[in-house]
Structure 1
Amino acid sequence: MTDTLVRNAPVSADRYENRLLAILFLAFGFVFFDRQALAFLAPYMDDDFGLSNSQLGILSGVLALTWALAGMFAGSLSDRLGRRKPILVVAVLLFSVFSSASGLMTGFVGLLAARALMGTAEGAVLPMAQSLMVEASRESRRGLNMGLLQGSSAGLLGGIVAPILVVRLADAFGWRTAFFVTIIPGVIITVLIAKYVLEHAPRTGKAAAASGVPDAAPAPAPEKVPVMDVLRLRNVVVCMLIACCYLTWFVTLITFTPKYLTDEKDWGSGTMSAVMTCLGVAWVLWGFATPAISDRIGRKPALIGFTALAVLCPIAVVYVESPVALGALMILTYTGLGCFTLIMATIPAETVPRGALATALGVIMGVGELAGGFLGPLVAGWASDAWGLQAAMFIAAGGAAIVVALSFALRETAPAVLRRRGGGAIVKESV
């Protein structure tokens, strides 16, 4: 079907690149809209569930667990089959269905099951989306495109739209309705992917590779690379370690900040929503700015510098008492989501051969979600019940601080920087 679409409706490489970016921007953005909804709805669910900090951490953690396992499986399966589009279509449709199912649950166990199923579907989205995007991207826009897809999309829809829309729906119609409406955009995006996304980007055609002229012929099948060979690459190992710590920073911060603001600071739901929206603004801003800057100054210095700022974000949540000041500081210091793109997509894509790309992305994301997304909030929830919610914020800050140290072990991969240093061709690490 894909090959037929390519033959019957040829599209220039640049035009397809922009079209694909727009569709995948929406797809991954709504992944995070659904994922973030629970954190914003937790205060409303207390009457029905009475969620403790530990239970909130478990709900966040189980989604990360199934997300991780699904991401690793989907990435490996995709590289074995040489297909990504069918996996992406099914994943987007199912995560929308399972997110809506959360509104039907009447007990903690049922909600836990719905979140686990949602994570199973969502985990496949990022490896498929980023591997499609990297092949469709011009070298000069690779970091920017992948940052917009993974960082800015999640920030706009999960960080800005979600806290505003979800809180308003919960205030007006109840928290269950807020879950129910999530199925609508998912179905629409599924149709867009099925109709407009190609299995092989025009830029991967044989003639395009030889001459730079857009070509619709599919690229030759990439050579399959064993997973263990991928895991021997230094950048892949370092990115996995960084992902563990960075997911601890992110998931812990985003899970417990809404409750910290309402319970510890006694701020109303409107103030909490406004402050959380500032995280979304920063998410959008740094989601594309950080990778774009890294295209010019290098992946490694960008990761070190922007992560150093990210250490300050959870600390500000604890010590800044003014909502206005806290919102401003969050915009300045919530820089980590732009760094996520570098370690989960851009650096691996510039390190591994094409035949191992989805596998590498799935493994890095999966290991990070297992350690930081699953175990991180569990530990933070337990620590918060024992010592107060500020413990979660300090755990988040510690995760980012470790990332700064680990980043020094990375090998630079930005093509423009490597050319300035060596004046030669860019060569990926050998497996």
Structure 2
Amino acid sequence: MNVNTYENRLLLILFVCFGFVFFDRLALSFLFPFVAADLNLNNSHLGMLSSVLALMWALSGMTLGHIADKKESKKYILVISVIAFTLCSALSGLVTTFVSLLIFRGLMGIAEGPVLPISQSLLAAASNPKRRGLNMGLVNASAPGLIGAIIAPPILIWLATDYGWRTAFYATLVPGLIIAALIMLFVRNKHVHESMAATHHLGGKGDIKALLKNRNILLCVLISCFYISWFITLISFTPTFLMQARGFAPDAMGGIMGSLGFAWMIWGFVISALSDRFGRKPMMILFTLIATACPMVLLYADADSMLPLVFLTYTGLGCFTLFMATIPAETVPASQVATALGLIMGVGELFGGFITPTVAGFMADAYGLDIVMWIASAGSLIAMVLALFLKETAPAKVGHLTATEALATTHG
């Protein structure tokens, strides 16, 4: 099989895999109005449920991502992770109390944590440099946008409305097991693309302290903290905000969430493709600034103008690929990519996914749901300021350098 054929096959499998991660992760956000009525939950509970998943996701991603870098094969870790998070998602339909739901969400976070760093390290190694940003953007942003935010809302809301929210959780079992089988059958054990070897020094495992001394990695960690605050706050609270604070019916809420997902999918590959040509840094700055306006659209736009404005301003998930995957993969040696990605994702999830939603939930109960939109907007604004200090890594902008020259340009 030629390189391009395998690259495309791997891209398709990882696209479906990571998209389904977000189908499961976001399911509770879409189903929460139904779950809350049955289990007598409030906004603080929603914040804590989002936070515990993010905490476990963060710790797992950092730990297992680093372990995966020490293994010649990452395939089996990925298969086990997919099976485990699928089972945890399906079993969420059995819960009868907040505590039991909290436990299952935490276990699901442990299982999902290593999926992104492992998937992106495999894809970075298998990708041609000219389309590395596009490939990573399709998996990191377009896949969860399409599967987790476009396909998931109508399916989950329909199942919850007609058959109950528990059935909606049970339904996640079959596709998850199919994805695990596809990875087992069609993904190679080892990945070292000849073009990856030409642009990265393939030596030295390094450690987290050494990675944090790298300017781009440190900035990406900080950007992750605030950008994940923007994302998790929006995705966790927007369904409830639209129904309770803005007075939208469930089907209207589902339509708006679908519009968010459509924007997520489109901007996910558009921004990454643009960054291949025009550079990672300018695209980060421009589209993060635009993303800052999205919470204000949800807060103030009328029903008629909300859908197009949401699409135009929900650009942040396209930027996620850049700071969470592409820039780190072009900054550190190939043998450290999963560790770097796990670190960036993990620390960002600890702050933006664990701390911020809990704070936002308590503040929403104290001051009203409007405040969560201001919290989200502040997160992306700070991320934009931090992006001003990144060093460019796009091959089209840094030129065709030797491995040593490339490392000297992109490190520190």
Displacement of 1:421 in angstroms is 11
CA contact (8 A) 2:73 2:190 kept: no
What's the counterpart of residue 193 of structure 2?
A: 203
1:377-419 Cα offsets, whole Å, 9 max, x none, are 0111011011100100000000000011000110000010112
1:336-377 Cα offsets, whole Å, 9 max, x none, are 111000001000000001111110000000000000011110
What's the counterpart of residue 384 of structure 2?
A: 404
Change (3 A) 1:355 1:305: same
The gaps in structure 1 that reach 5 residues or longer are 1-10, 213-218
Displacement of 1:51 in angstroms is 1.5
User: Matched residues in 2 for 1:149 and 1:140: separation?
Assistant: 16
Q: SS of the counterpart of 1:427?
A: helix
User: Matched residues in 1 for 2:76 and 2:203: separation?
Assistant: 18
Mapped pair 1:388 → 2:378: no
Aligned residues: 410
User: Matched residues in 1 for 2:208 and 2:104: separation?
Assistant: 31
What's the counterpart of residue 265 of structure 2?
A: 284
For residue 256 of structure 1, the aligned residue among 237, 258, 262 is 237
Displacement of 1:221 in angstroms is 7.2
User: Matched residues in 1 for 2:400 and 2:380: separation?
Assistant: 30
CA contact (8 A) 2:73 2:189 kept: yes
1:17-63 Cα offsets, whole Å, 9 max, x none, are 00000000000000000011001101111232121111100000100
Alignment of 1:220-299 (within 5 A): 222-299=203-280
Q: SS of the counterpart of 2:205?
A: coil
What's the counterpart of residue 7 of structure 1?
A: none
User: Matched residues in 2 for 1:363 and 1:125: separation?
Assistant: 13
CA contact (8 A) 1:29 1:158 kept: yes
CA contact (8 A) 2:225 2:347 kept: yes
CA contact (8 A) 1:16 1:201 kept: no
What's the counterpart of residue 174 of structure 2?
A: 184
> What is the Cα-based RMSD across aligned positions, in Å?
2.0
For residue 397 of structure 2, the aligned residue among 413, 417, 420 is 417
Q: Percent identity?
A: 50
User: Matched residues in 2 for 1:374 and 1:293: separation?
Assistant: 31
What's the counterpart of residue 138 of structure 1?
A: 128
CA contact (8 A) 2:270 2:318 kept: yes
User: Matched residues in 1 for 2:192 and 2:246: separation?
Assistant: 53
CA contact (8 A) 2:288 2:383 kept: yes
CA contact (8 A) 1:76 1:359 kept: yes
User: Matched residues in 1 for 2:72 and 2:289: separation?
Assistant: 39
TM, length-normalised to structure 2: 0.96
CA contact (8 A) 2:216 2:411 kept: no
Alignment of 1:16-415 (within 5 A): 16-201=6-191, 203-204=193-194, 222-322=203-303, 324-415=304-395
TM, length-normalised to structure 1: 0.92
Q: SS of the counterpart of 2:406?
A: coil
User: Matched residues in 2 for 1:69 and 1:103: separation?
Assistant: 25
Change (3 A) 1:404 1:48: same
CA contact (8 A) 2:201 2:334 kept: no
1:88-130 Cα offsets, whole Å, 9 max, x none, are 0100110000000110000000000000000000011000000
Residue type of the alignment partner of 1:367: V
CA contact (8 A) 1:16 1:202 kept: no
1:274-331 Cα offsets, whole Å, 9 max, x none, are 0110001001100100111011111000000000010000111111121x31111110
User: Matched residues in 2 for 1:299 and 1:221: separation?
Assistant: 23
